[in-house]
Amino acid sequence: MSEKITSQNINRRMFYERFPVDGQEVKNLVAASMIWLKTNMELVNLLNVFPVPDGDTGTNMVLTMQSAFAEIENSPEVHIGKMFGMVAQGALMGARGNSGVILSQIWRGLASGLENDQTLTAAGLAAGLSNARDTAYRGVVRPVEGTILTVIKDVAKESKKALKHTDELSDMLEIVVKAAEESVERTPDLLPVLKDAGVVDSGGMGVLYLFEGMLRWINEESLDEPITDVDEFKDLDLEAAMHEVEEGQDYEVVVDFHPGDGFVLEDFYANLEKMGTSIQVAEGSGLYRMHIHLPTENRYMPIDYCMDIGTVTNVAIENLMIQMEDIAAQKEEKVELNPIEPGDIAVVTVSPGTGISKVFASLGVAAIVEGGQTMNPSTQDILAAFENLPTNKIIILPNNKNIVMAAETAANATVKKVHVVKSRTVPQGLAAMMRIAPHEDFDKVAADMEKAMDEVITGELTTATRTVEIDGVEVKEGEIIALLDGKLVLSTQDLETGCLELLDKTRIENYEIATLFYGNNIKREDAEEIAGVIEEKHPDLEVEVQHGGQQHYQFIISIE
């Protein structure tokens, strides 16, 4: 029996020109678009200035694509209409933020335009893109040109015109990518805030990367190395964009709900416009995902409204002002890593935030891998951080119990001499770094770093996401919970009380220094106010406040 011909066992360009493109080939294209977008995610985040400069457009689009791909990853489906339908459903369920919601509607439109197609053709793609444009525009209450919407509109227009000249899918994708590039370049002329900031639209750039990833797959080009130097954009002055932000965008609220009888989309839009701005509504299989930006005093109104007209299944709320303040703080915290010479001991550390990364860098780490709670890096991420360092002596600090295994797997996947110091928290990692001696005996340094972790204890404070009882501690959803060296020790109503009671449980009178690393969900002035209260109660304790930049945890506290 002869082997099935696929794009992976012959020249891909030739395959796409000669053979039908079925659902399994669509899976390859979607995977390629996701990978290429993730490769360029940092740049898309840096370009993010509209509707608010919160620096998460790339992240939101990647998370949306990862959810879309997860829906098809193990599917044997060969019908492309059904495959695109699954992509659209996965994108809807994983849609994050403005850009993710609109992206989910682009996929939904593409899927509905191709639902009866067995194979993907140039004509089918053009028709699907026209439908994607219409669906995306319908989902936005007040469409703004110079955004992701403009890019999908221009792409749809050029793909339709291209049918007069080609019926080859690969040629059509080249035309689509060129149209997207030109459209993205024009976005500053349509949206003044982009021109003021000296950037193109981030969401539009994300869509360009999706199509470009597909084309790069067909042309057998790399999907792992960005072709744009991100450093060119890191010093952008986004202050002008901050001043141009439309008022009343303090919070972002996303609500998933099933509408009841008598639901009228136009009336829904009209009522939402009385509450806030930046309104998008995505729909799929009877589920609606509503996205809106609101002033602080209105942040619960759309949730109550959706509960009145249907059944709410999920709610997400984010403080956009804190996100923007964190972006500003990050710009002040440039991380300069320690240069490594051949034969030196190089330390690779995992860090959950930019402020913490800066501290690690000041202590001499050679490479930093972004990650932490809920965002664990992969084995490949850790391996890539040290494989090209000019030394064969590597120490890894995972700084989270859930990352230790990935670190050990990376250590076993290289010919270099690697030791994993099993730090389970950031303070343990920082304590270990105090013992680094790059030119000393490798085994002795690793052993010293292991011992140093016993000299520090770790406190962590976060918000409970559900009601539960653990280790005899009763927790209610929304309360502040405190962990001491990873163990839940208390639950309370407010952050200040949580900090004070946590320190009491450490027998703080036996320690000298408490460093409070505050996360991206708390303002510096609030962190300093709590530090002042701690100093009043414990006058002999030296209390330091540092920007950590971590997600989810209001404080990571190092106690020495």
| Structure confidence at residue 238 (pLDDT) | 47
| Structure tokens, 132 | 């994607």
What percent of the chain stands above pLDDT 90?
Answer: 53
Mean pLDDT computed over 177-183: 97
> CATH assignment of 12-231?
1.25.40.340
Give the pLDDT confidence score for residue 89 in this predicted structure.
Answer: 92
Q: What average pLDDT does the segment 57-63 reach?
A: 88
| Fold for the domain defined by 333-454 | Rossmann fold (3.40.50)
Confidence at 3, pLDDT banded by 50, 70, 90: low
Please tell me the distance from the alpha carbon of residue 35 to that of residue 223, in angstroms, as a whole number.
6
- The reported pLDDT for the residue numbered 230 is 55
**Inter-axis angle of helices 202-218 and 148-162, nearest 10:** 40
How many of the other CB atoms lie within 10 Å of CB of 283? Answer: 18
- Give the lowest-confidence range in 219-233, 373-387, 423-437, 438-452: 219-233
Give the span between the Cα atoms of 214 and 36, in whole angstroms: 8
Q: Which tokens go with 556?
A: 């990571």
- Give the pLDDT score at 45: 84
CA angle (200, 291, 187) in 5-degree steps: 15
Would the pLDDT of 465 be above 50? Answer: yes
Task: Calculate mean pLDDT across residues 297-310.
Answer: 91
- Radius of gyration, CA atoms only, the chain: 25
One DSSP character per residue, 494-530 reads: SHHHHHHHHHHHTTGGG-SEEEEEE-TTS-HHHHHHH
Say what the pLDDT of residue 243 is. Answer: 44
Residue 52 has pLDDT above 80, yes or no: no
- The overall average pLDDT reported for the chain is 87
Report whether pLDDT(348) > 70: yes
Please check whether residue 18 is in contact with residue 6, taking contact to mean a CB–CB distance below 8 angstroms: no
Average pLDDT estimate for 201-205 = 92
Q: If pLDDT is split at 50, 70 and 90, which confidence band does 443 have?
A: very high
In this predicted structure, what is the pLDDT of residue 321?
Answer: 63
CATH class of 251-326: alpha beta
Q: What is the pLDDT of residue 231?
A: 55
Classify domain 457-559 at the CATH class level: alpha beta
Q: Is the pLDDT of residue 427 over 90?
A: yes
pLDDT > 70? residue 326? no
Question: How remote is the C-alpha of 428 from its chain's centroid?
Answer: 26
Largest Cα–Cα distance in the chain?
Answer: 81
pLDDT of 2 higher than 50: no
DSSP 8-state secondary structure symbol assigned to residue 5: P
User: Over 60: is that where the pLDDT of 332 sits?
Assistant: no
| pLDDT at res. 296 | 85
Side chain identity, residue 308: D
Between 141 and 239, where is the model more confident?
141
Q: What per-residue confidence (pLDDT) applies to 4? A: 67
Domain ranges of the chain: 12-231, 251-326, 333-454, 457-559
Contact, 153 vs 143, CB < 8 A? Answer: no
Instruction: Give the pLDDT confidence score for residue 378 in this predicted structure.
Output: 84
